[in-house]
Amino acid sequence: MIKTPYYLIDKQKLLVNMQKIAYVREQSGAKALLALKCFATWSVFDLMQQYMDGTTSSSLYELKLGRQKFEGEAHAYSVAWADDEIEEMLDNCDKIIFNSISQLQRFAERSEGKTRGLRVNPQVSSSDYLLADPARPFSRLGEWDPVKIEGVIDQISGFMFHNNCENGDFSLFDKMLGTIEERFGDLLHKVEWVSLGGGIHFTGEDYAVDAFCARLKGFSEKYGVQVYLEPGEAAITNSASLEVTVLDTLYNGKNLAVVDSSIEAHLLDLLIYRLNAKLAPSDGEHTVMVCGKSCLAGDIFGEYQFDRPLAIGDRLSFIDTAGYTMVKKNWFNGLKMPSIVVKQLDGTVEVVREFGYDDYLSSLS
């Protein structure tokens, strides 16, 4: 039995998402790039690169990872590039997307001859969280003035719009894309490619996939552009779990169980957005608050129902833990970092990476 904690990536479940992405690519003509900010566990890229067109990044290190570990295109984006990153960035990318006109002009000479794009902020989004809203007031993410953008249109060949966030509603996607067309339609006719970013949950159950494909294809044909999608969660949703073990139980007005993991260290997005972890289906009359082992008082996975009281040594499985987890794991409290385990397509289970004290030591100085 593999020692907990560990992230378990199931390639068979991952394949379900990959096949949906392949269908969208085929029916719409859009290309799909994996958003490494969400998921960058390269031990399963051998499967993913068969169904996707490459990667998109948010930093130099992500860019290099995509170039080295994933076949296909490597798109480079950063909110702001530093002077000492530019040469290495240009050496590793197929397309560079600048966040601002200022950055585009600052590095115009050094990026001459490279395929360049500009991030555009349409000032509408689907986000329910101000923290994650790219169109929030005073947002630094992209240019919004069509007049200013037209002034540099001869220096770029494409745009990137990233204004969807956990959007599983095709009608909302359609409406927001319509807003983009209304505001920037004249400019869309002047470029060769358009990325519509990530945050579109088109691999989710009951999503209007065929309508989505038709909308993308119509958009592409109307403006004569190659459309790109940048799926993150859509690529890996429901494909992984975090496996943990109960270390202690206690009662303090509620029944508590402490496990050998931590939301702050291993599922950080849950803490940031104040969400509960999803537990593998369980039911019963016994309510237990499952807690992490860090010293953070609010290190709590959530409250769950069980058919019996939890006992020391019980194993629990938190599901849908691929996105924004392994890329955010950290060494808070010096807690043991979860191993990365892959269930291959043939059903065999492989421990592909374990982390120990030396890794903790080397992360500091």
Contact (Cβ atoms closer than 8 angstroms) between residue 87 and residue 81: no
Burial (Cβ within 10 Å: 0-12, 13-18, ≥19) of residue 208: middle
Predicted TM-score (pTM) of this structure: 0.96
Query: Which pLDDT value is given to residue 66?
Result: 98
CA-closest candidate to residue 198, choices 14, 64, 34 = 34
Count Cα neighbours of 272 within 13 Å in the Cβ-side half-sphere.
13
Query: Which pLDDT value is given to residue 267?
Result: 98
CA-closest candidate to residue 234, choices 304, 310, 324 = 324
Q: Is 182 annotated as a binding residue?
A: no
Rg (CA), the chain: 22
Query: Which pLDDT value is given to residue 56?
Result: 98
Mean pLDDT of 187-198: 98
pLDDT tens digit string along 252-283? 999 999 999 999 999 999 999 999 999 998 89
Query: Which pLDDT value is given to residue 281?
Result: 86
Query: What whole-number distance in Å separates Cα of residue 256 and Cα of residue 289?
Result: 5
Query: What whole-number distance in Å separates Cα of residue 117 and Cα of residue 107?
Result: 12
Among the residue ranges 120-129, 243-252, 253-262, 324-333, the one predicted with the least confidence is: 120-129
Query: Which pLDDT value is given to residue 282?
Result: 85
Q: Is 269 annotated as a binding residue?
A: yes
pLDDT tens digit string along 37-72? 999 999 999 999 999 999 999 999 999 999 999 999
pLDDT tens digit string along 67-95? 999 999 999 999 999 999 999 999 999 99
Tokens, residue 262: 């931590």
Contact (Cβ atoms closer than 8 angstroms) between residue 74 and residue 63: yes
Distances (CA, A) of 158 to 151, 174, 181, 263, 308: 14, 20, 14, 39, 57
The mean pLDDT of the chain is 97
Tell me if the bond preceding 5 is cis, omega within 30° of 0.
yes
Query: Which pLDDT value is given to residue 10?
Result: 98
Query: Which pLDDT value is given to residue 89?
Result: 98
Q: Which residues contact 171 (CB under 8 A, 6 or more apart)?
A: none
* The listed CATH number (2.40.37.10, 3.50.50.60, 3.40.718.10, 1.10.3210.10) that belongs to domain 240-321+329-363: 2.40.37.10
Q: Above 90 in pLDDT, residue 331?
A: yes
Q: Where are the alpha helices (DSSP H) in the chain?
A: 11-28, 45-48, 60-69, 86-92, 101-106, 146-150, 170-188, 209-223, 233-236, 263-266, 268-273, 357-362
Q: Tell me where in the chain the CATH 3.20.20.10 domain(s) lie.
A: 13-235
Query: Which pLDDT value is given to residue 128?
Result: 87
Fold designation for 13-235: TIM Barrel (3.20.20)
Q: Tell me where in the chain the CATH 2.40.37.10 domain(s) lie.
A: 240-321+329-363
Q: Above 90 in pLDDT, residue 105?
A: yes
